[in-house]
């Protein structure tokens, strides 16, 4: 970090001390996760001990899902909202930490490591990426890579601009909204590989299931998914 940046951070912290985005307690950079979450709130998050088996819509393959937290938890919901919509992308570090602990706790980690899964972030459409400035799934995948040593294989491209899934209530409409929204960057890298799709949250699952469908259609061996939380 250069000196100007350090001075700027110091002034900013003095004038506007950072607060824990969950309990609003005053934070110091050293005693917090990414300057946004206090240790107490972080350690109060309950990690799911088991993984989930999600049935596919229609004839598709069922999906194994590792989700670190329960989206019913208010803290988890607030954190994910800040991560996704309020620019707190540094939350990807504690999130990646929680995901790794969940993978170990649920027993998925041995399988993922042995079968050499590669991480694939869920892409945003380029217009949404431009608007938001970052893709939360991609940042999360990079931090999981650092902690796990798994490689990233960024094969998915979002070619169709879809409505925000959060704006659509009906499950079938959500499925229709994302149908055909992904294409591959290069078919040759998919066949025979095992993929772990990375996203922030699993709600109806329509987006992740569509990503899995495209990967299977192009010869992927096994596809599983991992998220910070599941609704």
Q: Least separation, in Å, of the C-beta of 181 and Zn ion?
A: 37
- How far from 167 is each of 15, 164, 170, 176, 194, CA to CA, in Å? 37, 5, 10, 13, 32
Least CB distance to Zn ion at residue 98 (A): 15
Residue 23 binds to Zn ion (criterion: CB under 5 A) = yes
- Residues contacting Zn ion: total by CB under 5 A: 5
Quick one: which segment of 22-30, 183-191, 192-200, 222-230 binds Zn ion (CB under 5 A)?
A: 22-30
Q: Which stretch binds Zn ion (CB under 5 A): 2-10, 17-25, 72-80, 190-198?
A: 17-25
Is residue 19 a contact point for Zn ion (CB under 5 A)?
no
Task: Please identify which residue in the block is written with the tokens 């993978």.
Answer: 103
The rounded distance, in Å, linking the Cα atoms of 168 and 101 is 32
Based on CB atoms, which residue is closest to Zn ion, 47 or 184?
Answer: 47
- 30-89 positions binding Zn ion, by CB under 5 A: 38, 41
Q: How far is the CB of 94 from Zn ion (least distance, A)?
A: 12
Pairing of strands 194-202, 118-121: parallel
Specify the stretch interacting with Zn ion by CB under 5 A; choose among 13-21, 71-79, 149-157, 191-199: 13-21
Shortest separation between residue 43's beta carbon and Zn ion, angstroms: 10
Q: Supply the minimum distance, in Å, between the C-beta of residue 100 and Zn ion.
A: 21
Q: Is 20 in the site for Zn ion (CB under 5 A)?
A: yes
Strand order in the sheet with 194-202: 52-54, 63-70, 222-230, 194-202, 118-121
Binding site for Zn ion (CB under 5 A): 20, 22-23, 38, 41
């Amino acid at each position: 970090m250069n000196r100007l940046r350090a001075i700027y951070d110091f002034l900013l912290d003095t004038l506007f001390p950072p607060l824990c985005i969950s309990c609003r307690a005053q934070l110091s950079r050293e005693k917090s996760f990414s300057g946004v979450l206090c240790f107490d709130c972080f350690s109060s998050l309950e990690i799911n001990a088991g993984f989930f088996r999600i049935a596919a819509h229609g004839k598709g393959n069922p999906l194994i899902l590792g989700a670190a937290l329960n989206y019913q938890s208010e803290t988890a919901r607030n954190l994910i909202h800040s991560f996704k919509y309020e620019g707190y992308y540094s939350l990807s570090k504690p999130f990646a930490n929680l995901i790794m602990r969940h993978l170990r706790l649920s027993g998925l980690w041995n399988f993922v490591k042995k079968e050499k899964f590669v991480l694939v972030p869920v892409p945003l459409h380029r217009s949404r990426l431009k608007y938001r400035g970052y893709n939360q799934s991609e940042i999360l995948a990079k931090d999981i890579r650092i902690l796990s040593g798994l490689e990233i294989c960024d094969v998915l491209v979002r070619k169709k601009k879809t409505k925000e899934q959060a704006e659509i209530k009906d499950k079938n409409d959500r499925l229709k909204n994302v149908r055909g929204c992904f294409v591959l960057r290069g078919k040759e890298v998919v066949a025979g590989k095992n993929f772990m799709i990375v996203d922030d949250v699993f709600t109806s699952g329509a987006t992740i299931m569509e990503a899995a469908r495209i990967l299977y259609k192009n010869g992927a061996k096994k596809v599983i998914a991992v998220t910070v939380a599941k609704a």
